[in-house]
């Protein structure tokens, strides 16, 4: 690169309370008359123009496996989805997040084909495992072999495959690889991409005798990519995808010089466990331990995505017995459990593959009780109120259930949560009073649209944990200018809970109202009754 680059000033505001993102595949909605990206645009503009600010379109490049995360050509859009113009059309109404799948690329990519032939570009773009003496401590989220044997013009070689034999890890010891990535980033900026998600970035750098995860060189590369991205587009946002225990995840903020946003990976398993067990003790303990995100950086909150519900981020937060109970409950609700292999060779749960709506079918140790939707909405009401920027999976907005038929067809556990809605069937479901999809979609939209108007829900607004009981998860938010005060109270149990208003710090000279129900609280000597899995957002500003 010949241009001079300099860090963008810290504290620059890149988001506010109106920012809400939807996560979706480009072909989550399909039809026979439109390309999927055009069908997605139609759905977004028709139903969600006032609900969302941004859309994470999961890998849209030509790919060979892993539903897009094995990229063949980074600068092309899969023609089955549409064109760059179709993606830019979505960008006219919503900011777009794109994945930078740069730990590895497809075995069918031009780079890897050239590697096999000993040609450029690609000849030195990949990691050969034989260059590393000690691989015994390597940590990875798969149980497949780390090294894959391939035949090249120079004979047999063993390439490094963190995820699968089709996903070949790139060699960042070769600066040409980094130059290629910078050119790809420039291309994405030119196409109007604003959010850049660094997929599986924790595994980027390899060093013999180490875990090959979270290495210092990886953090240095992230710092460099941030400088590049911000100088190409000052409003751009960098997100790291590091599905690891909490302390390691927090390290990717760096010293305000790495990620702008990090995924709150511990939130999904802890929130799910709280609602399914009826006890939020661990969720409260975790939230109190979380450092407030400084201005210029924030948490990206989510409770479901295209992947499963990560279980590793709950390590050290839930006991092994509690984790086992959660896993068993999710299996009973039709889910699958994916495993990873530890350095000692043991298999341990890595993620739960299940639709979040299906995951709420019954409580731990209980049976189906007619409160599935209430639990589901409660979980999202909590997430929408937390410090950070919320991201909601399309199948959560729609209340999609387990896609076990699709999973049986592909043989991949993650397909269970990657259903493709035929557009006409989706439209019918969203208008059918007899199906839960209509009610879920309407209530999710209503809550999001309330949230977007509250300064106290700014991603960096003050947050304090409140203590009532282990059945009530409660916290207080205050706007950056200290003008709005908001109390979020959530009953995570199947039993009615009562809270005296005097236990809240409601200033008597203010008028207090629940933003969700519209109920006013004139008598501050009264009480709040929380029905099973219900929530209130009590605010002094309406």
pLDDT bin (cut points 50, 70, 90) of residue 1 is very low
Tell me which DSSP letter residue 416 carries: G
Kindly report the average pLDDT of the chain as a whole number: 96
Q: 462-539: which CATH topology?
A: Immunoglobulin-like (2.60.40)
pLDDT at position 250: 95
pLDDT at position 8: 44
pLDDT bin (cut points 50, 70, 90) of residue 346 is confident
Provide the 3-class DSSP secondary structure of residue 243. Answer: coil
Percent of the chain scoring above 90 in pLDDT: 91
| Residue 9, pLDDT above cutoff 60 | no
Tokens of 38: 């055009």
299-308 pLDDT, tens per residue?
999 999 999 8
Lowest mean pLDDT among 110-119, 245-254, 371-380: 245-254
- Give the right CATH number for 110-169 from 3.40.50.410, 3.50.50.60, 3.90.400.10, 3.40.50.2300: 3.90.400.10
CA distances from 220 to 202, 243, 462, 493 (A): 12, 19, 30, 45
pLDDT bin (cut points 50, 70, 90) of residue 3 is very low
pLDDT at position 11: 45
199 is a catalytic site residue? yes
- CA dist 358 and 122 (Å) reads 44
Catalytic position from the list 66, 166, 199, 514: 199
pLDDT at position 347: 86
Tokens of 39: 């069908």
Laid out side by side, the sheet with 462-469 consists of: 462-469, 472-478, 485-491, 535-539, 513-514
pLDDT bin (cut points 50, 70, 90) of residue 288 is very high
For the CA atoms of 154, 137, 306, 382, what is the dihedral angle to 10 degrees?
-160
φ, ψ (nearest 5 deg) of residue 498: -120, 130
Cis check: omega of the bond before 335, within 30 degrees of 0? no
Provide the 3-class DSSP secondary structure of residue 49. Answer: coil
CA distances from 91 to 189, 344, 411 (A): 12, 47, 34
387-414 pLDDT, tens per residue?
999 999 999 999 999 999 999 999 999 9
pLDDT bin (cut points 50, 70, 90) of residue 143 is confident
Domain boundaries, the chain: 110-169, 462-539
Averaged pLDDT, 515-533: 96
Give the DSSP H or E segment for 169.
strand 167-169
Would the CA dihedral through 262, 264, 266, 268 be positive or negative? negative
| Residue 4, pLDDT above cutoff 80 | no
CA atoms within 13 A on the CB side of 29: 21
Averaged pLDDT, 448-464: 99
φ, ψ (nearest 5 deg) of residue 377: -65, -40
Predicted TM-score (pTM) of this structure: 0.96
Beta bridge partners of 262: 240, 299
CA distances from 377 to 233, 396, 431 (A): 37, 10, 19
- CA dist 43 and 222 (Å) reads 35
Length of the chain: 542
């Amino acid at each position: 690169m010949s241009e001079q680059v300099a860090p963008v000033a810290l504290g620059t505001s890149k988001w506010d309370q109106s920012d809400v993102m939807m996560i979706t595949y480009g072909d989550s909605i399909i039809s026979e008359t439109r390309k999927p990206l055009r069908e997605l645009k139609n759905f977004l503009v028709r139903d969600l123009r006032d609900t969302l600010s941004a859309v994470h379109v999961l890998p849209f490049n030509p790919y060979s496996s892993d539903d897009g995360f094995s990229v063949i050509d980074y600068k092309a859009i899969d023609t089955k989805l549409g064109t760059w113009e179709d993606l830019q059309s979505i960008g006219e109404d919503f900011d777009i997040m794109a994945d930078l799948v740069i730990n590895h690329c497809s075995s069918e990519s031009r780079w890897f084909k050239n590697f096999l032939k000993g040609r450029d570009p690609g000849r030195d773009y990949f990691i050969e495992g034989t260059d590393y003496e000690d691989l015994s401590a390597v940590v990875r989220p798969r149980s497949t072999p780390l090294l894959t044997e391939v035949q090249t013009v120079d004979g047999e070689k063993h390439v490094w495959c963190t995820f699968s034999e089709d996903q070949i890890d790139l060699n960042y010891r070769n600066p040409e690889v980094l130059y290629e990535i910078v050119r790809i980033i420039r291309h994405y900026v030119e196409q109007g991409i604003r959010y850049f998600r660094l997929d599986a970035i924790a595994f980027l750098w390899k060093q013999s005798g180490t875990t090959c995860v979270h290495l210092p060189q990886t953090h240095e590369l992230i710092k460099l990519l941030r400088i590049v991205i911000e100088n190409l587009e000052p409003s751009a946002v960098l997100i790291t995808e590091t599905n690891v225990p909490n302390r390691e995840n927090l390290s990717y903020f760096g010293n305000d010089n790495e990620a702008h946003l990090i995924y709150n990976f511990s939130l999904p398993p802890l929130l799910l466990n709280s609602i399914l067990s009826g006890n939020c003790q661990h969720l409260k303990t975790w939230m109190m331990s979380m450092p407030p995100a400084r201005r210029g950086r924030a948490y990206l909150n989510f409770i479901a995505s295209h992947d499963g519900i990560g279980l590793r981020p709950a390590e050290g937060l839930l006991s092994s017995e509690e984790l086992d109970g959660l896993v068993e409950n999710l299996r009973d609700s039709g889910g699958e459990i994916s495993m990873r292999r530890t350095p000692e060779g043991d298999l341990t749960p890595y993620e739960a593959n299940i639709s979040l709506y299906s995951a709420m079918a019954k409580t731990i140790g209980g049976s189906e009780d007619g409160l599935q939707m209430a639990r589901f909405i409660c979980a999202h009401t909590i997430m929408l109120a937390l410090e950070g920027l919320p991201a909601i999976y399309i199948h959560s907005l729609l209340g999609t259930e387990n896609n076990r038929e699709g999973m049986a067809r592909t043989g991949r556990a993650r397909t269970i949560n990657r259903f493709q809605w035929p557009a006409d069937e989706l439209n019918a479901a969203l208008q059918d009073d007899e199906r839960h999809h209509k009610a879920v979609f309407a209530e999710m939209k209503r809550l999001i649209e309330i949230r977007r108007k509250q300064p106290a829900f700014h991603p960096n607004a003050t947050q304090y944990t409140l203590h009532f009981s282990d059945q009530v998860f409660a916290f207080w938010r205050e706007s950056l200018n200290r003008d709005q005060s908001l109390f979020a109270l959530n009953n995570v149990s199947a039993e009615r809970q009562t809270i005296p208003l005097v236990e809240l710090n409601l200033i008597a000279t203010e008028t207090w109202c629940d933003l969700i129900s519209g109920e006013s609280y004139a008598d501050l000597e009264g009480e709040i009754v929380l029905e099973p899995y219900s929530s209130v957002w009590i605010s002094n500003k309406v």
